[in-house]
Amino acid sequence: MRAIAKFPAPIRIAVFVGLLLVVWLPWVGLVYWQVKDPNTISLLTMPVVFIEFLLLLHWWGRRVHHLSHPCQFYGLGWTQPHRRELKWGLSLGLFSLLGLFFIEYLWGWLSWQPIPQLLWVIPIGLAIALGIGFAEELIFRGWLLDELQRDYSRERSLWVSSLAFAGLHYIRPLPSIIQTLPQLLGLVLLGLTLVWAKRSKTDRLSLPIGLHAGLVWGFYIVTVGGTIYYAPHVPEWLTGIDGNPLAGVMGLICLGAIALFIRYGATRYE
């Protein structure tokens, strides 16, 4: 396995993904053969691939890169600084997004009709958001960013990992890609922000996990916890195409403000 560590980064990444798919794809084929409902298929396949990723990552860190504590090396932990940064990032993401929707509400751009089950939506949304934040940050700002930084400069690794993050979130039919193209810019900006969040905290993942989860949580509360009605006179490019803030000017301004704060101000927080 020592030879793998000497491969160029693209080949190492391809080997890792290949090992992951060799184990996962037979299970996916079996599920597709037995199950027809798309939601059930997703529930049966996605958690399995992430569990495989965690096991493979631990093996990869020890056998390929000879890390004594792979999880700690990639930025995970549960110390007091980790917990504090997680809560801070969660609050920043949640209240930034809710604040954006509230401003649009005050300006008369949208109305929101909450559902009676809103109180149940909040904890469920938090659990889902933390799961997404943990998984995606460990993949993109943990493993992938590390593999890139072993061969490339920090600046190049920043952009390659952010573009990969955006591109993999943009796998969809061509008409949908064309229709929601501004969202791609938002995803790249989000990827950059999350890398800066990690680097601002001595390469700990707790802040980017919290920030990522907070944004997802806020969006979940508003969209699942009620029905949003945008005013007909407000163009979609301003509020977000298909209701997605990342695909609108207001959302990009909000995310840009977070990015600037993280990039230039978060290093002073302790």
Torsion of CA 82, 225, 188, 39, to 10 degrees: 100
Q: Indicate if the pLDDT at residue 182 is higher than 90.
A: no
The residues that bridge with 113 in the sheet, in sequence order, are 227
pLDDT tens digit sequence for 4-47: 888 999 999 999 999 999 989 998 888 888 887 887 888 888 88
Query: Which residues, other chains included, contact 123 with Cβ-Cβ below 8 Å and sequence gap of 6+?
Result: none
Question: What are phi and psi for residue 230, nearest 5 degrees?
Answer: -85, 140
Nearest-angstrom CA–CA distance, 6 and 147 = 11
Residue (of 79, 82, 102, 100) closest to 90 by Cα position: 82
Give dist(CA 239, CA 110) in Å, integer: 9
Query: For residue 217, which of 91, 108, 103, 109 has the smallest C-alpha distance?
Result: 91
Q: Domain map of the chain by residue range? A: 1-73, 76-268
Question: In whole angstroms, how far apart are CA 196 and each of 46, 98, 217, 238, 242?
Answer: 27, 22, 21, 26, 28
Q: What is the per-residue pLDDT for 265?
A: 66
Query: 189, 256 in Cβ contact below 8 A?
Result: yes
91-143 pLDDT per residue, tens: 999 999 999 999 999 999 999 988 888 899 999 999 999 999 999 999 999 99
The model's confidence at residue 270, banded by pLDDT at 50, 70 and 90, is very low
d(CA 146, CA 12): 11
Q: Please tell me the predicted confidence (pLDDT) of residue 134.
A: 97
Note whether 239 and 109 are within 8 A (CB). Answer: yes
How far apart are the C-alpha atoms of 66 and 246, rounded to whole Å?
39
15, 4 contact by CB (below 8 A)? yes
What mean pLDDT is reported for the chain? 90
Q: Is 76 helix (H, G, I), strand (E, B) or coil?
A: coil
pLDDT digits over 141-178, tens only?
A: 999 999 999 999 999 999 999 999 999 988 777 777 77
Give the pLDDT score at 6: 87
Quickly state the pLDDT bin for 200 (edges 50, 70, 90): confident
